[in-house]
Structures are given as structure tokens and as C-alpha cells.
């Protein structure tokens, strides 16, 4: 029997499936206007049908609940920590196998933004690409020959010299990878001086960012803080299946 979903938000990644004779009803929530903690001691999914059939799929179902619920909660906490800084919280492309749509959606419902969904959503030059091409100018020149006019280019940088090279090469987004806060703040000032106003590229802070350092990173003036842990290593919530009396 098909899963029946009561949808209360648009573009839910939950699709109809089959659990034999079990009917499952799930509630999904709209993205919050402000980051809030995930609800406690509440019911997020109910199932009806023969007991033996119900006991069959809980691992499958709870696995998806773990993924969506924990990702949403972790994102909401990160959004709350950066409130008022102007920085957005984003995930990365690092998701668990088979759960990408669910995890990406969970980040949005937690108040965050999605990075690339897959490799075709944008071009990114990482350190190995840059080193193999001989430097940022050479790598950008090579990849620009292949990109369509609708595709944005992000360049990963490791220091201020590389930030300046990415600026001169015309990157749309510059990733500040594993930089300390002082270097990030300097990169923000550099970009504002070299390409002011609407011509300034977006600046993305990434790499090793924790709850303890998140606020300081956001206060450097970067536009985006990307956190891979929102999807690939969040701690599971306490979700269990109980028989209703």
C-alpha cells in the first residue's frame, strides 16, 4: 500500500513509496522565519496497519527521520548563532548516500541555504585543480573556455595572495578555505576595495568551523558560512517508534 503524505510545505523531497500494507502519515513544516530549536516530545510520523507489517520498516523510516530532523536542528542552531551578522548558513555537497534530497531540504527548513546540489550546479576550482593548472589565473582561463554563460565560478583560496588573484581573474564566488578570522576580515576589505559595489564577488568561509568559532567567522563580514557537518556528521536525535494505547 502506498505511503500517504499529508504535505504542509512546498517541494517536499518525501515521495510516495510502498511499505506493504502499512499507511504512513508524515507532517512536514514550513521553513521558519527565525531559527528555532527542533520540537521536543512530539510526534512527527504515525503509521497504521498490521503490527507485523508496521515493525518491518522502522529502520528505513527512522533513518530518514534522523537525517532530516538532525540536519534541521543543527542548521537552526547555526542560524541562531549568526543572527544579525548578515552571513548566511549553507550546507556543502557532502551528503549521505541516498539521502541528498532529504538532507538538503532539512537545511532549508532550518533556515539555511543549499550549496551545489551536484557538480552541474556550478563550477568550483579547488586547490588540486589550481595547482595542476599552474595557478589561479591559468585555472580560471582554462575553465572559462568550457563554461556556459549561465554557470557561476567559485575559486577556493588559501591565503590573501590567492584571494587577490581570484579577484583579478573574475571569480563570481571566492571561498576562504581554512583561514583564520583575521585573514577573512582582511579578504573582505580587499574585495571591497578592488571590486566595490555590485561587482564584488560573494565570499564564502569554509573549513573547520565549529559552534565555538561560528559567530566570530560570521562577524568578519563574509557573505556565506558553509558547514559540511550539517549533513555528513550531525548527531542523531532520540527518535523511537511506540505503539499508541
Q: Annotated catalytic sites, by residue?
A: 94
**SS3 of residue 177 by DSSP:** strand
Residue 193 to residue 35: CA distance in whole angstroms: 33
**In whole angstroms, what separates CA 44 from the centre of its chain?**
23
3-class DSSP state of 128: helix
Greatest pairwise CA separation for the chain in angstroms? 68
Residue (of 39, 35, 109, 40) closest to 68 by Cα position: 109
C-alpha cell, 156: 577556493
At which residue does the C-alpha cell 527521520 appear? 65
- Cell numbers 583564520 label which residue? 180
Beta bridge partners of 90: 113, 226
Residue 239, classed as helix, strand or coil, is coil
Q: For residues 94 and 12, what is the distance between their CA atoms, to the nearest angstrom?
A: 20
Residue pointed to by grid coordinates 557561476: 152
- 209, 217 Cβ separation under 8 angstroms: yes
167 Cβ partners below 8 Å, 6+ apart? Answer: 174, 190, 191, 194, 195, 201
Amino acid at each position: 500500500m502506498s505511503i500517504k503524505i499529508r504535505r504542509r510545505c512546498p517541494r517536499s523531497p518525501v515521495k510516495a513509496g510502498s511499505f506493504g500494507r502499512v499507511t504512513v502519515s508524515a507532517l512536514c513544516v514550513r521553513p521558519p522565519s527565525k531559527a528555532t530549536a527542533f520540537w521536543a516530545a512530539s510526534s512527527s510520523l504515525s503509521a497504521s496497519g498490521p503490527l507485523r507489517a508496521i515493525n518491518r520498516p522502522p529502520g528505513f523510516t527512522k533513518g530518514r527521520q534522523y537525517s532530516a530532523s538532525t540536519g534541521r536542528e543543527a542548521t537552526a542552531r547555526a542560524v541562531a548563532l549568526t543572527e544579525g551578522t548578515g552571513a548566511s548558513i549553507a550546507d556543502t555537497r557532502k551528503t549521505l548516500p541516498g539521502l541528498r534530497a532529504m538532507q538538503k531540504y532539512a537545511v532549508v527548513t532550518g533556515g539555511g541555504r543549499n550549496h551545489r546540489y551536484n557538480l552541474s550546479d556550478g563550477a568550483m576550482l579547488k586547490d588540486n585543480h589550481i595547482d595542476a593548472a599552474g595557478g589561479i589565473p591559468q585555472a580560471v582561463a582554462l575553465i572559462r573556455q568550457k563554461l556556459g554563460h549561465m554557470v557561476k565560478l567559485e575559486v577556493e583560496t588559501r591565503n590573501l595572495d590567492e584571494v587577490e588573484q581570484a579577484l583579478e581573474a573574475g571569480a563570481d564566488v571566492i571561498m576562504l578555505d581554512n583561514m583564520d578570522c583575521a585573514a577573512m576580515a582582511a579578504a573582505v576589505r580587499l574585495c571591497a576595495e578592488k571590486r566595490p559595489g555590485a561587482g564584488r564577488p560573494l565570499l564564502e568561509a569554509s573549513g573547520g568551523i565549529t559552534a565555538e568559532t561560528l559567530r566570530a567567522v560570521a562577524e568578519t563580514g563574509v557573505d556565506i558560512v558553509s558547514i559540511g557537518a550539517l549533513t555528513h556528521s550531525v548527531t542523531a536525535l532520540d527518535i523511537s517508534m511506540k505503539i499508541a494505547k
